[in-house]
Chain A
Amino acid sequence: MTNTKAQDNFSQSVRDLLENRARKLAQEADKPIALTTRRNDNLYLGLRLLDSVCALPLHAVKEVINLGSVLPIPRTPIHVAGLVRLRGKILTLIDLRRFWYQSVSGHADSDRAVVIEMDGVEFGVLCSEVEELVELESDEIKDFTENLPKRLKACLRGLARRDMLVIDIQKLIAQRGFLVDSAQEES
């Protein structure tokens, strides 16, 4: 009696698991996630990158993931931290600090990443911590006079709440040398 019941419970939980998964996958196949369809351009996700706090536009954020094993990629610029698998897809991890400061001090051993998708380019941004969602009206985002590295400035919409770096993903992707394309280097 207990035997069959346990089995029932077990197969029920497998069924639930499969059903949930199927639902999740079906959703992904159709449209990315609910978050991106209900687009609000004033919403940002706050991240801690070592000593600074960044705000990423939420409509470009697909999800936050915990990292498994990362495969380093030889022959790439230092801001490319490696590759991870994400549900059958391959995702490149980026260390923004290394890109901005061209220095090896960064998040080499970070275990979380925010998945960004913009204009057909997808990548994970390494971060030390994911903070809260923030709503920023455009007038809250100020131009900066602060003495920031040029490469960082070129990727920003501006500063908010004194020291929050509001990132413009399109500008970031457009930065020279950000995407890796050796075919381009050839020409």
Chain B
Amino acid sequence: MGTQDDFTEILKVFRVEARELLQGIGEAMLTQEKAANETERQNALKTAFRLAHNLKGAAGTLGLEPLANLVHALEDVLGAIRERQLVPTPEVIDEILSNSDVIEQASQKAEIGGTTLNDEEAQALKRLQDLLPGASSAPAAAVAHKAAAPSAQSEAAAGSASSQTDDYVRVSNQKLDTLLAQMEELLEMKIRMEETHRHIKNTMATMEAESSTNLDQVLKPMRGLALGMEQDIQYLSKLLRQIQDELLELRMVAIGSLFPMLRRAVRDVCRKRDLEVDLTLEGGDYELDRRIVTEMKSPLLHLLRNSVGHGIESASDRQSAGKPAAGQVSMRVTHQGNRIALTISDDGRGINFDKVRDRARELGWITDSDQSSQTELTRMLFQSGMTTAVQADSISGRGVGLNAVKKVVETLGGSLDVESTPKLGSRFRLLLPLTLAMDKGLFITTREQNFVIPKTAVQRVVSFRSEDVSVTDDVANLWFEEESVPLARLEPSLHLTRFSMDESKQNNLAVILSSAESRAAIVVDEIQEEADIVVRDLGSFVRKLEGVSGLTVSASGDMFFVLDPSDLVRWAIRPLGRGRSKSDPAGTATADHAEKLILVVDDSVTSRMLNLRLLLDVGFQVETANDGRQALETMDGRQFDLVLADVQMPYVDGYELTRRIKAHPKLSQTPVILLTSRDRPEDREKGIDAGADAYLLKKELSQAELVATIEQLI
């Protein structure tokens, strides 16, 4: 001890401790404010006092004198309240909370040897001292003296607190991830060992079959080896499983760790708006993945602030509406299968759907004559243009809209819905996975490609016949549980295509997926197995892939994409029951080859026919044009999914055609592939400059390559 490094290290620990202690003080103050009886109130005050005393001690030990003085003043105030010399009015609590915030800031930048308080801190000190009884006449000496008396008691309490903190270990997420990665390598090693073991056994079997007496000498040690190895593997497997379980558990955090912050936020809104609210938070013991808890912080803050600031009426309004003066706001955490449900309810005025409808009309989402149902309007509430607009005039929004809340929830693999009744209140319901790490997955095969579907989204696997299916121009529907569910096939290229009766067999398989109260039936060829999966992201390069929520690695080391059920369902039902939406670039429900229209532009009739045949072969719809000029005429007012054009053409060549397409407001999103026989760098560059999405050489090109390129682009 004693070196600069030691101090820096200790200072870091102190900062974490200070933050926790101050948070504890804030929480205790809120508890005493809402306490049901005097004992509870006294206990909360005792806790607050003890925590302040601990903090003062810690600051003093490190020689952080200015900070210790500041905490000392806080301790005095808390002591005075406990001794009933000071009445904890809401104003006094406000002072304590806001000064705790100042102290927290001060503690986070406290340096060894610092001797002065900055202005803000000095003011905080003064304000705290002013709170003390008799502050104006005699300084706080008498009170400070009293506060010193119960120190023996608080030290005993401090002792129990420190033994409590021994139960907690701070581990960085990064370290945990590394450990998990190492685990996985150990698992791989186990698999390799198993293989070696199998080899040895096979070799022995062969040798035994070709038996000769001498072999015994070889076989004996080998048997020993094999046996030893088998035991090792067994032990290793057991050990690995244990370590993995423990590691996964380390990632879990109680959702209750967010409660103090939520309580504080609700109190702040109430004070600011002069509202009365009874806040109930239940189920804080449920543990969730650390990342989920961290990421849910601002969405939950937002939802609760919304419920209070937007939902709860003034006390007088409430009373004249026959409601209790204090608004009832709650967040309840419960188990729901292997997910966790968070329900945030209020008994306020409810969502104003007329306003939502007006705004939707303004945005052109619905027409004046459209009488959208409440369900549809609710769905619109979560779309991006809507939230900001409605919020700006009425909600206590702080930057994050409902749209952002929904995005966070969905990124975490959860779902969000809302119910609201005018005059009676609103209820937001969030479903979250317990962990991002371990999940159950259904391994399926479609057109010889394997994927995994998260089990949580699978409602049922059904086998159906063609008579259960109704097909209209656009969509196929499956009759399931007395409801018509959109039916689509999953393609290996991660698109859904319309289910075609032509390929219908006696018994077809479909997985019924549910997401956000909608359902879709996804046709697959085979159901493989159900297994525990660890879902991981796709790495730092590909951040998000539509239709995919992550990747999982099987026991044998193969990688599988884990599908995102909410994307699949969304694609299958099309948003808001309208036609193909711009906000849904995936093209979606009917994105088969057969649904894709490609324009082939070439002045050579041979090349044109060759490409036409080639693309028709693999099922695309194809139109042709003889040159760039004709291509532009053909494209006028129509929507092609891709343009495949030759470079050298009369009138308007491939480069020019590409440029014009990319500059056209309606066509610019259409992918263009340029085909050429010239492979000079300057030609390629010209193509790329023009905005071509790919530049292919005729002589190198195979059908497979062309189709692969097209599939990647559309």
Contact = CB atoms under 8 A, between A and B. Distances in A.
Interface of A: 2-3, 6-7, 10-11, 14, 21, 25, 28-29, 69, 71, 73-78, 80, 83, 85, 87-92, 94, 101-105, 120-123, 147-151, 179-186
A88 B709 CA distance: 30
Contact of B544 (A21, A71, A123, A181): A181
A90 B536 contact: yes
Given A74-B493, A149-B688, A92 B542 contact: yes
A147 B182 CA distance: 47
B585 A102 contact: no
13 contacts: A3-B221, A73-B542, A75-B493, A77-B712, A87-B181, A87-B184, A88-B180, A90-B537, A92-B538, A102-B684, A180-B541, A180-B542, A182-B544
Nearest to B228: A7
Given A7-B221, A75-B712, A103-B694, A150 B685 contact: yes
B551 A90 contact: yes
B694 A78 contact: yes
A29 B185 contact: no
Nearest to B188: A88
Contact of A186 (B179, B221, B225, B585): B585
Given A89-B181, A183-B544, A83 B494 contact: no
Interface string B533-577: 000111111111111000101000111010000000000000000
B210 interface: no
B558 A69 contact: yes
B711 interface: yes
A94 B542 CA distance: 11
A79 B64 CA distance: 57
A122 B539 contact: yes
Interface residues of B, number: 60
B26 to A, nearest CB: 35
Interface string B335-379: 000000000000000000000000000000000000000000000
A181 B541 CA distance: 8
B680 to A, nearest CB: 9
A74 to B, nearest CB: 4
B697 A105 contact: yes
Given A74-B494, A76-B712, A186-B585, A88 B182 contact: yes
A155 B33 CA distance: 62
B185 A75 contact: no
Given A6-B224, A122-B539, A149-B685, 15 more contacts: A7-B228, A69-B558, A78-B712, A80-B541, A90-B559, A92-B539, A122-B541, A123-B541, A149-B681, A150-B688, A179-B542, A180-B542, A180-B543, A182-B544, A184-B543
A185 B546 CA distance: 11
B684 A149 contact: yes
A102 B694 contact: yes
A29 B171 CA distance: 14
Contacts of A181: 542-544
Contacts of B687: 102
Q: Max chain A CB contacts within 10 Å: which of B547, B559, B585, B709? A: B559
Contacts of B542: 73, 76, 80, 92, 179-181
Contacts of A149: 681, 684-685, 688
Contact of B557 (A80, A85, A105): A85
B175 interface: yes
Given A10-B228, A185-B585, A88 B545 contact: no
Contact of B696 (A25, A71, A104): A104
Contacts of B539: 83, 89-92, 122-123
B700 interface: yes
A102 B688 contact: yes
Interface string B271-288: 000000000000000000
B492 A74 contact: yes
A85 B700 CA distance: 30
B695 A94 contact: no
B186 to A, nearest CB: 9
Contact of A101 (B546, B693, B695, B711): B695
Contact of B225 (A6, A25, A71): A6
Contacts of A75: 493-494, 545-547, 712
B547 to A, nearest CB: 7
Given A29-B175, A83-B551, A85-B553, A103 B697 contact: yes
A7 B557 CA distance: 29
A122 B559 contact: no
A28 B492 contact: no
B705 interface: yes
B705 A104 contact: yes
Nearest to B407: A183
A123 B542 CA distance: 10
A149 B538 CA distance: 30
Given A2-B221, A102-B694, A148 B541 contact: no
Nearest to B492: A74
A150 B543 contact: no
Contact of B185 (A7, A69, A87, A150): A87
A3 B546 CA distance: 58
Contacts of A92: 538-542
A121 B541 contact: yes
Interface string B507-548: 000000000000000000000000000001111111111110
A154 B71 CA distance: 57
Contacts of B182: 25, 29, 88
Contacts of A102: 684, 687-688, 692-695
B682 interface: yes
A69 B687 CA distance: 33
A147 B681 contact: yes
Nearest to A26: B182
Contacts of A151: 685, 688
Contacts of A89: 181, 539
B666 interface: no
Nearest to B586: A75
B551 A3 contact: no
B545 A121 contact: no
A158 B291 CA distance: 42
A26 B599 CA distance: 56
A147 B682 contact: yes
Q: Max chain A CB contacts within 10 Å: which of B493, B536, B546, B689? A: B546
Contacts of B217: 2
